[in-house]
Structure formats: C-alpha cells, structure tokens
C-alpha cells in the first residue's frame, strides 16, 4: 500500500523540530515502512519546496503561499494539486492528516483521506478553558465531516471532539505508538534523586502547577532536583512571551536553586535524560494520548501523571504509575515523594509500565491496526 502523511511538522534536520503529532507520525511511518508499505511524508509550512528520500521514505517539503487574506486557501490548493498529481502517477493510495486546525477542510483529493484525531484546537481550548477561534472550529468541523475515515488516538478524544463540534462521526480508536526496541530500560548512572518533565513548556501541560508541586516536594527532600526539558512557549492567557518566565516566580526562593531548565534538546538525546531520571512527571490538563508518556513508560520509569480522561486509557492508577489531578498539589507532591523514597515501587511501576506499552502501544502493533483501517476505507 502507498500511504502518505500530510502534516505541519516532522522531526528531521531538514524539516525542523516537532511536537507530539510529528513524533507519532515518525514512529508510525517507520513501522509501516518496515512492513513493506511505500510511505510519503508531505510537510507544509516549510522554508522552501523540496523533496528527498531517506531510509526508503519519500519526503516532500512544501512552502506555504503568502498572499494577504488568501494564504490558507492558496496553500491548501497547492497541496491538493501536489497530492493529486502523486495519486495520478500511482505514488499514493491513501492520505492521512491530523485534525489540528482543519487544514484539509477545502482540499479535495482523488484518493481517500483519513484524519487522525490527536486533539484539534477546539478540543484543546475546551480542556484549557480558553475560547476557540471561530475560524479554527469551522475548519476543524468541516475537515472531519469530509473525511473518508476517522481514527482517534483515544476514546476520550474521539467522544469529546464529536461533542464539541456537534458531530456524530464514527471513529476507530488506534493509539499513538513508539518503537519499544529503541526506548529500552537502562541502568541509571547517577544515584542523585531527580524529577524529570519533558515536553513543551506551556500552561495546558500543567507547567504553572509544577512549581507549586515541587515546592512541597522540596520542603520534605532538599536533595531532589527538578529537570525541565522542552521548548518554551508564549502564554495566551497572560500574553507573556515565555511560560518559563511565568514559572520562575512560582518557585520558592530556596527550591528554585534545585531547578534546571535545559530548553529544547535534540530528539535523540531524550533517552539519556529519561534514563537518569528517578521519577517522570506529567501534570497536564490537555492531551490526546501523549507520546512522551509512552517513552518514559517504555524505559521503565515511575510516573506521576494527570488523571484526566485520556490518562486512564494509558495508566492504571497504582499499577503502572500514579494519576493525580494537576491542581491537587499536596497529593501530587505526596505521590512523588512516595516514589522517591521507595525504589522497589519505582521498579514495580516501571516494569508494569513497559509491559503495558509492549502490549498496547508498540509501533508494530499500531501499524498493523492502521493498515487494516486503511484497507477498510479504500474498500468502502
């Protein structure tokens, strides 16, 4: 099968950095290629038009057209022409795109289009208690209505998206995945206690709650360090250009001395940081099914995460990790301290977490599920 992914991001030196959408496409595309399928990655929003091939995967960089008031529709039509040309030449059988901002709303293809719900702007605005832009909600609803098939990475995301957009579209749950042969448990090289958060520094991921949680942890354990890894981002609610700047005053004067922010790091270095962490924390308000959690779980790390919606489809509280609401700072801190003080529980959580990932979120398993779904869409 010839499968194309249309995306605004993909983690590659030639296409730039990426968040969860890009990472999930990377994992899935490699697994599909290993199964013998012909894969194309079309990345829009690039610095120039270009194409190249690497590891058997075709890459197409697409530069957006800039024209006041018409940039989006002109870029959509450029992408439409490009994909249809590839379809006509026999290079594409089916296209998958994310739901984010409804980019495919006015794209008409000569092959089936599948949308994978990783969380649209309407979805994230709702979970983050923000007002969604009318334009984004309109485009996202139109894109989902037009799609020939819908995949949702979690049941929570699929159900809530339908509710928020007033849709009754059937969807199939196929989660995000990772290569468990790449994310392996490794011996920790340091005996120092450390808490790791990795991901974008942004309000919706609970980063303004984390200082208050760490303050409580530090009051009990003065040796523990908090490591923050990921790109900084602007805060829409306050208008600040930096979430990290908003975080710093929330730390106590003493606890901030044990906090280190590394900024964004190369995707290949994430494993080293996870390996040396004692506990990984994800106090998020808004996710769909985060790849970062899977990476930590696969490396047998003890996790304290949010208890909202999607989380319960990934972690059983008290078995593969602890789940706590991000605003329950005292309980969240207590769960972290419980793990810091109990190496045996860390180990048990980690082993159970990796087994869960292998059983439900392995990229080979998810790739096979995706292929069966693509076939059903093409046949119908």
Instruction: Kindly list the structural domains of the chain, giving each domain's residue range(s) and its CATH number in brackets, ordered by start.
Output: 2-177+362-379 (3.40.50.2000), 194-360 (3.40.50.2000)
**For each of the chain's 380 residues, which pLDDT tens digit applies?**
999 999 999 989 999 888 788 888 998 999 999 999 999 999 999 999 999 999 999 999 999 999 888 999 999 999 999 999 999 999 999 999 999 999 999 999 999 999 999 999 999 999 999 999 999 999 999 999 999 999 999 999 999 999 999 999 999 999 999 999 999 998 887 779 999 999 999 999 999 999 999 999 999 999 999 999 999 999 989 999 999 999 999 999 999 999 999 998 887 788 999 999 999 999 999 999 999 999 999 999 999 999 999 999 999 999 999 999 999 999 999 999 999 999 999 999 999 999 999 999 999 999 999 999 999 999 98
Cα separation of 244 and 239, whole Å? 13
State the pLDDT at residue 209: 98
From 32, 37, 13, 11, select the one nearest 22 (Cα to Cα). 11
Q: What are phi and psi of 160, to 5 degrees?
A: -65, -40
Number of H helices, E strands in the chain: 12, 14
Cα separation of 341 and 255, whole Å? 19
Cα separation of 90 and 280, whole Å? 45
State the pLDDT at residue 324: 98
In the DSSP assignment, the letter for residue 361 is -
State the pLDDT at residue 309: 93
CB of 30 closer than 8 Å to CB of 367: no
Three-state SS at 369: helix
247: its two tokens: 């975080």
State the pLDDT at residue 2: 98
pTM over 0.95: no
Cα separation of 61 and 75, whole Å? 13
Strands (E), 126-214: 149-152, 172-173, 194-198
CB of 294 closer than 8 Å to CB of 361: yes
Handedness of CA 370, 371, 376, 380 (dihedral sign): positive
Q: What's the burial of 70, exposed, middle or buried (CB within 10 Å: 0-12/13-18/19+)? A: exposed
Q: What distances in angstroms separate CA 144 from CA 94, 161, 337, one per listed residue?
A: 16, 10, 43
State the pLDDT at residue 269: 85
Strand partners, 321: 317
Cα separation of 62 and 135, whole Å? 23
């Amino acid at each position: 099968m010839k499968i194309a992914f249309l995306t605004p991001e993909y983690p590659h030196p030639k296409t730039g950095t990426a968040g969860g959408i890009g990472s999930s496409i990377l994992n899935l595309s490699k697994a599909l290629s290993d199964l013998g399928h012909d894969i194309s990655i079309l990345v829009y929003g690039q610095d120039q038009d270009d194409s190249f091939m690497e590891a058997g995967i075709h890459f197409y960089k697409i530069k957006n057209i800039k024209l006041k008031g018409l940039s989006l529709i002109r870029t959509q039509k450029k992408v439409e022409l490009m994909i249809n040309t590839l379809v006509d030449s026999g290079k594409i059988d089916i296209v998958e795109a994310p739901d984010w901002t409804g980019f495919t709303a006015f794209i008409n293809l000569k092959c089936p289009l599948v949308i994978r719900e990783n969380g649209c702007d309407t979805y994230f605005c709702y979970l983050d208690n923000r007002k969604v832009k009318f334009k984004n909600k309109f485009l996202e609803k139109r894109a989902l209505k037009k799609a020939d098939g819908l995949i949702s990475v979690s049941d929570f995301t699929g159900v809530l998206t339908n509710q928020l957009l007033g849709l009754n579209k059937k969807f199939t749950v196929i989660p995000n995945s990772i290569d468990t042969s790449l994310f392996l448990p490794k011996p920790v090289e340091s005996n120092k206690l450390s808490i790791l958060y990795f991901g974008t520094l942004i309000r919706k991921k609970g980063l303004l709650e984390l200082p208050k949680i760490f303050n409580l942890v530090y009051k009990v354990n003065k040796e523990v360090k908090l490591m923050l890894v990921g790109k900084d981002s602007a805060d829409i609610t306050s208008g600040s250009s930096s979430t990290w700047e908003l975080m710093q005053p929330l730390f106590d004067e003493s606890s901030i001395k044990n906090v280190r922010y590394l900024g964004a790091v190369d995707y290949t270095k994430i494993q080293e940081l996870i390996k040396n962490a004692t506990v990984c924390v994800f106090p998020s308000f808004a996710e769909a099914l985060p790849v970062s959690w899977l990476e930590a779980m696969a490396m047998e790390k003890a996790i304290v995460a949010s208890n909202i919606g999607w989380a319960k489809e990934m972690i059983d509280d008290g078995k593969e990790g602890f789940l706590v609401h991000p605003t329950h700072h005292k309980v969240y801190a207590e769960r972290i301290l419980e793990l810091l003080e109990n190496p045996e529980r860390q180990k048990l959580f980690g082993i159970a977490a990796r087994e869960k990932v292998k059983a439900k979120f392995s990229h080979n398993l998810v790739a096979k599920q995706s292929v069966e779904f693509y076939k059903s869409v093409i046949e119908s």
